[in-house]
Amino acid sequence: MMERIRTWGNGAVERALGSFRRVRPPRAGWHAPLIKKTIVTAVILAALYWGVTSVVAYITAPRLEMTMSPVVGRIAVVAEPAKVEPIQRKVTYTGSVSPFQEVTVYPRWEGWVEEFKLYEGDRVEQGRAIARLDRGEIGAALQKATATAAATERERPVMEAEIEALKASLVAHHAALRETQANLVFWERDMQRVKVLFDRGAIAAVAYDEGKKQYESAVARVAEHEARIKLVEAKLVEAQARLAAVGERIKAAQAEAEQVKTRFSYTTIEAPISGRVAKRHIYAGILVKPGMPIVDLQDLSRVRVQAKVAESDLLFVRVGTEAIVRMPALPEGQRERRVRVTTVFPQLDPVSRTATVEILLDNPGELIKPDMYAIVDLVLERKEKTLVIPRQAILDGPDGKPMVYVTDAVTATARPVKLGIAESERVEVVEGLKEGEMVVAKGQRSLSEGAEVNVVPRL
């Protein structure tokens, strides 16, 4: 069949070329379309001939089956030994870069912006003032509250001194009371003695009256000191109450002063983190209120690389899993980082059935920018010593299972194999091969069981 097609094709091409050769040179007034038509016809016939012969050659070509007879003559192949080497299984995902920290700064007090000099890209340190609001009214309120608190505080020592004086007076009155009570006891006994003598007629009435007078005077002095003690005690209670009230007023004044001081501090807006200005939302001279954004800050000393990992791979990913992060936009020599997974988010996306895996990267020089494109390779499995062969050596056997051709440099023998971890260019062989056996890595698709081979070096 191939011979007939070739004969027909050769004849068609020859006829087309003969027609072209018979075309005479153009005469005056003779047009060129005939020449063009002849050339186009020849090209079409040649293309048709090539296509038909290629299809027939493919259809009639021998298939790679282990039961076929060997191809006549030696077949040039490239063979490589099965080696014991490390191999790893990894999956690749695209990732996105975000800052380690990102904060939007808001004002905590309403006011006119008096000073704001930051621009995008400026670096600020934590605690540095990034904006200042007008302090006129709040400054006056702070002065008033501070003065009130100070004046109230000055009342305390006065009240404390008064209380101490009352306490001292109370002590003195108690001492005097004890003395008058002792005198009363003396005169009471003396009165009893004088009364006995008077009743017996041993003394005159004048002596009796004098003793009675002394006794009554002692009773009066005791009553007087007791009344004074009660008065001082009442004053002391009143003074202590006034001191307590002063203490409450002092606390209230101090609290008010602290509140005003806090509100005053809100007029200075400070950076909550160290980082760079990603976006500014205001400018000097406008009125800002709580909840109105001032500036966006980003901490780029480290960055977060996040990738959405399929649920089928999550079983093999945990904190500490080896990862390779590549960022094509970085300069040569800084595009690839070998790191470890730092966080595996527990919640899956119910739509995509993926979970976020996060990797923290140090970012010296802040070359890595937010939203940069990243490629994340996750090493799911690694073996340090296992038998590996080139991946291109693997063929599908008649039963659909993997096989290779093993050669002794003379003939090729089909060998079914059981595979394990696969990389882009290598694959692990779990069963079917031994270390050092030569497998056909190139030219194996032209082989059949027992085919004679000629092993040539890899180009």
Q: How far apart are CA 426 and CA 84, in angstroms?
A: 12
Phi, psi of 2 (to 5 degrees): -60, -40
Q: What is the pLDDT of residues 279-289, one digit of tens each?
A: 999 989 999 99
Specify the pLDDT at position 56: 41
pLDDT given at position 49: 54
If one compares 389 and 148, the residue with the highest pLDDT of the two is 389
pLDDT(2) > 50? no
Residue 62 is given by DSSP the state P
| CATH for 137-265 (3.40.50.300, 1.10.287.1490, 3.30.1490.20, 2.30.33.40) | 1.10.287.1490
| Class of the CATH-defined domain 75-87+384-455 | mainly beta
Q: What is the pTM of this model?
A: 0.58
Q: Which two tokens stand for residue 93?
A: 């995902």
Spatial distance between the Cα atoms of 12 and 19, rounded to a whole number of angstroms: 11
Q: Residue 88 in 3-state DSSP?
A: strand
> Burial of 320 by CB count in 10 Å (0-12 exposed, 13-18 middle, 19+ buried)?
exposed
Give the residue carrying structure tokens 């999550």.
314
Residue 242 has pLDDT above 80, yes or no: yes
* Cα–Cα distance, 158 to 156 (Å, whole number): 5
Q: How large is the average pLDDT for residues 65-91?
A: 78
Examine the pLDDT at 52 and tell me if it is beyond 50: no
pLDDT at 60: 42
Cα dihedral sign, 80-82-83-86: positive
Q: CA–CA separation, 93 vs 306, rounded Å? A: 10
Percent of the chain with pLDDT over 90: 51
Asked which of 37-46, 316-325, 391-400, 441-450 is least confident by mean pLDDT, the reply is 37-46
| CATH number belonging to the domain at 110-133+267-288, selected among 2.40.110.10, 2.40.50.100, 2.160.10.10, 3.30.300.30 | 2.40.50.100
CATH superfamily of this structure's domain 93-99+296-382: Efflux pump adaptor protein, beta barrel domain (2.40.30.170)
Q: What does the pLDDT look like over 383-407, one tens digit per residue?
A: 999 999 999 999 999 999 999 999 9
| Mean pLDDT on 127-131 | 93
* Tens digit of each residue's pLDDT (9 = 90 or more) over 170-193: 888 888 888 888 888 888 888 888
For the segment 213-225, what is each residue's pLDDT rounded down to a tens digit?
A: 888 888 888 888 8
User: Sorting pLDDT into bands at 50, 70 and 90, what band is 44?
Assistant: low
8-state DSSP, 24: P
Q: What pLDDT sits at residue 68?
A: 41
